[in-house]
Amino acid sequence: MTHWIRFALADGSEGFGTLEGERIAEYHGDMFGTPQASGRTYALAELRLLSPCSPSKVIALWNNYHQLAARLEKAPPAHPLFMILPSTSVTGTGEAIRRPPGYAGKIVFEGELGVVIGRTCRNVSELEAGAYIFGYTCINDVTAIEILTEDPNFPQWGRSKSFDTFTCVGPAIASQIDLATASVLTTLDGVERQNYPLSDMIFTPAQIVSRLSADLTLCPGDVIACGTSVGVGSMKNGARISIAISGIGELTNHLQA
Amino acid sequence: MTHWIRFALADGSEGFGTLEGERIAEYHGDMFGTPQASGRTYALAELRLLSPCSPSKVIALWNNYHQLAARLEKAPPAHPLFMILPSTSVTGTGEAIRRPPGYAGKIVFEGELGVVIGRTCRNVSELEAGAYIFGYTCINDVTAIEILTEDPNFPQWGRSKSFDTFTCVGPAIASQIDLATASVLTTLDGVERQNYPLSDMIFTPAQIVSRLSADLTLCPGDVIACGTSVGVGSMKNGARISIAISGIGELTNHLQA
């Protein structure tokens, strides 16, 4: 299994490579094409991790876990329900989630599995979908929850989740994980808040990629946030929030006032 | 006033330039930087127009005209209400709007003014906003309207408008228009369906850019669809739909089964 990451060096230059224990093996070229090892390695301490890809869009699912659907007393949807989040909302591990200027309300974490697309994908079957999945990452799909219901006529799913830094992605893209056994573990200031199995998904990654690709073209590096399950809650200013998924790693951010 | 367009030549190569009567003056470099005239010109008939920019995101407003708000009996919103549409939904003038596979329901046109961002823009005031607006274009913000309300728990604004080819943009970006006098004129198979003044907007382009830039970073080429007004309706397969705005030009597409 490979863990792909992107990084910035002290001089501001950016690169990408694979995690090899405590070191990074640098690659050149296109992560989603045929990247070539440069032969150069870095210690993790020498660099700052970036979001492991720069998606042209993030597609964020709602109501995709049986346990949460049951808790909310919502029927499982007939098709993946989603909103589009912009590339500008994406940030990497270690970065601040910035409270929107002028917004003093609750900010909610949602630990999620992220699916990263590897090849341009349109109208593929569920059987074909796996070949278009580059790998898996951790997502914190942050929401300024009081904005969602601020207007009585229009639920603001887009705005409440589109603020800069509200889509935390990382730390790495794992080329494979065990979807049958892995769990999403969310920890807020050291206290476990979510711990749910990926096996409880209503639509699996292959089903999601197939269904979404019938609607809209998926591009290399695009990220699908597979929805969250029970245990979401709000974060205080300064809180430290981590999303860990077995086989991927741990995505950690903090809420900056 | 300048009219910027992008084009494809018969050999598949793409370029951009300015409209000069029936000819195009080609430019090189970055449309949003300091583009240089190449000295080469083309006849319009030699090339195919593309969407005049390739936005990283489209921000589509809802409920932004007094007349439509009154008709729908909705209060004017306190902040622009919007959804994010992906770059993959964008198409240019002359192209087909493709009916989503498996969807036999109504497909609705919405003629709108589009604001094109020229410079990276974050947290700018209403007074500063004009300097970040590159120009104005016509938008047809197409919606598979029966998908919007298909799930009882989640209005699918994102999905119903995110299908490939559902965000028609063009034909040109006009560097200036007269917002006080210009109208949006929508024509379906030669019959006028919308004819509403831009002066009826609830949030003006400068107000929209200022408010949105407080939420999320706007990038060069990003498009804000300013919302529609009265007169939206559905299109039959094969219908020809045009959106014209004085000072910009006419965006024409057809609905392909």
What is chain B written as a DSSP string? --EEEEEEETTS-EEEEEEETTEEEEEES-TTS--EEEEEEEEGGGEEEE-S---SEEEEEES-BHHHHHHHT-PPPSS-EEEEEEGGGEE-TTPEEEPPTT--S-EEE-EEEEEEE-S-BSS--HHHHGGGEEEEEEEEE-EEHHHHTSSTT---HHHHH-STT-EEEEEEEES---TTT-EEEEEETTEEEEEEEGGGBSS-HHHHHHHHHHHS-B-TT-EEE----TT-EE--TT-EEEEEETTTEEEEEEEE-
Give me the total of CB pairs closer than 8 Å, taking one residue from chain A and one from chain B. 119
Give the pLDDT of residue B200. 98
Q: What is the mean pLDDT of chain B?
A: 97
Contact A81 B214 (CB under 8 A): no
Contact A78 B215 (CB under 8 A): no
Q: Which residues of A touch B (CB under 8 A)?
A: 56-57, 62-63, 74-75, 77-79, 81-89, 100-102, 122-123, 150-159, 162-164, 214-219
Instruction: Suggest the residue from A57, A160, A212 to mutate for an interface test with chain B (most B CBs closer than 10 A).
Output: A57
Taking the CA of residue A55 and the nearest CA in chain B, the distance in Å comes to 10
DSSP-assigned beta bridge partners for residue A58: A85, A223
How many residues appear in chain A?
257
Contact A78 B150 (CB under 8 A): yes
Return d(Cα A119, Cα A133) in angstroms, integer.
8
Residue B227: which region, alpha, beta or left (left: phi > 0; alpha: psi -120 to 50)? left
Taking the CA of residue A41 and the nearest CA in chain B, the distance in Å comes to 33
Taking the CA of residue A4 and the nearest CA in chain B, the distance in Å comes to 24
Burial of A5-18, coded b for 16+ CB within 10 Å and e otherwise, reads bbbeeeeeeebbbb
> What tokens appear for B41 in the block?
């010109």
Taking the CA of residue B155 and the nearest CA in chain A, the distance in Å comes to 8
Return d(Cα B58, Cα A110) in angstroms, integer.
25
Distance of CA B72 to the CA centre of its chain: 23
Over residues B239-251, the mean pLDDT reads 98
How many residues appear in chain B?
257
Q: Which residues of A touch B82 (CB under 8 A)?
A: 158-159
Give the pLDDT of residue B214. 96
The amino acid at residue A135 is: G
Q: Which CATH superfamily is domain B1-49 in?
A: FAH (2.30.30.370)
The model's pTM is 0.97
Return d(Cα B24, Cα A214) in angstroms, integer.
36
Give the pLDDT of residue B138. 98
DSSP string, A204-238: -HHHHHHHHHHHS-B-TT-EEE----S--EE--TT
Q: Residues B120, B33: contact at Cβ < 8 Å? A: no
Closest CB to B217 among A88, A123, A218? A88
Taking the CA of residue A87 and the nearest CA in chain B, the distance in Å comes to 7
Return d(Cα A149, Cα A160) in angstroms, integer.
9
Distance of CA A237 to the CA centre of its chain: 22
Give the pLDDT of residue B142. 98
Q: What is the mean pLDDT of chain A?
A: 97
Contact A216 B163 (CB under 8 A): yes
Instruction: Suggest the residue from B74, B79, B88, B89 to mutate for an interface test with chain A (most A CBs closer than 10 A).
Output: B88
Q: Which residues of B touch A154 (CB under 8 A)?
A: 62-63, 77, 81
Q: Residues B141, B126: contact at Cβ < 8 Å? A: no
Contact A214 B102 (CB under 8 A): yes
CB atoms within 10 A of CB B216: 27
Closest CB to A84 among B86, B100, B153? B86
Return d(Cα A125, Cα B223) in angstroms, integer.
32
Closest CB to B215 among A163, A214, A218? A163
Return d(Cα A102, Cα B254) in angstroms, integer.
43
Q: Which residues of B touch A214 (CB under 8 A)?
A: 100-102
Return d(Cα B93, Cα B52) in angstroms, integer.
9
Q: Which CATH superfamily is domain B51-256 in?
A: Fumarylacetoacetase-like, C-terminal domain (3.90.850.10)
Q: Residues A120, A227: contact at Cβ < 8 Å? A: no
> Radius of gyration (Cα) for chain B, nearest Å?
18
Contact A156 B81 (CB under 8 A): yes
Q: Which residues of A touch B84 (CB under 8 A)?
A: 57, 83-86, 158, 162
Give the pLDDT of residue A248. 98
Give the pLDDT of residue B165. 98
Over residues B35-46, the mean pLDDT reads 96
Closest CB to A216 among B89, B153, B155? B89
Return d(Cα A131, Cα A151) in angstroms, integer.
42
Give the pLDDT of residue B53. 98
Give the largest CA-CA distance in chain B: 57
Could you please state the CATH topology (level 3) that the domain comprising A1-50 is classified under: SH3 type barrels. (2.30.30)
Q: Residues B255, B235: contact at Cβ < 8 Å? A: yes
DSSP state of A19: E
Over residues B15-24, the mean pLDDT reads 96
Chain A residue whose CA is closest to B62: A154
pLDDT tens sequence across B199-237 = 999 999 999 999 999 999 999 999 999 999 999 999 999
Contact B151 A81 (CB under 8 A): yes
Domain limits of chain B? Answer: 1-49, 51-256
Contact A154 B63 (CB under 8 A): yes
Give the pLDDT of residue B15. 98
Closest CB to A159 among B85, B123, B215? B215
What is the mean pLDDT for each group of 10 consecutive residues in chain A (257 residues)?
A: 96 96 96 97 95 98 97 95 98 98 96 98 98 98 96 93 98 98 98 98 98 97 98 98 98 97
Taking the CA of residue A201 and the nearest CA in chain B, the distance in Å comes to 18
Chain A residue whose CA is closest to B57: A86
Q: Given strand B107-109, what is the order of strands in its sheet? A: B143-144, B107-109, B233-234
Looking at the predicted complex, does its ipTM rise above 0.85?
yes
Contact A163 B89 (CB under 8 A): no
pLDDT tens sequence across A177-233 = 999 999 999 999 999 999 999 999 999 999 999 999 999 999 999 999 999 999 999
Closest CB to A163 among B74, B162, B216? B216
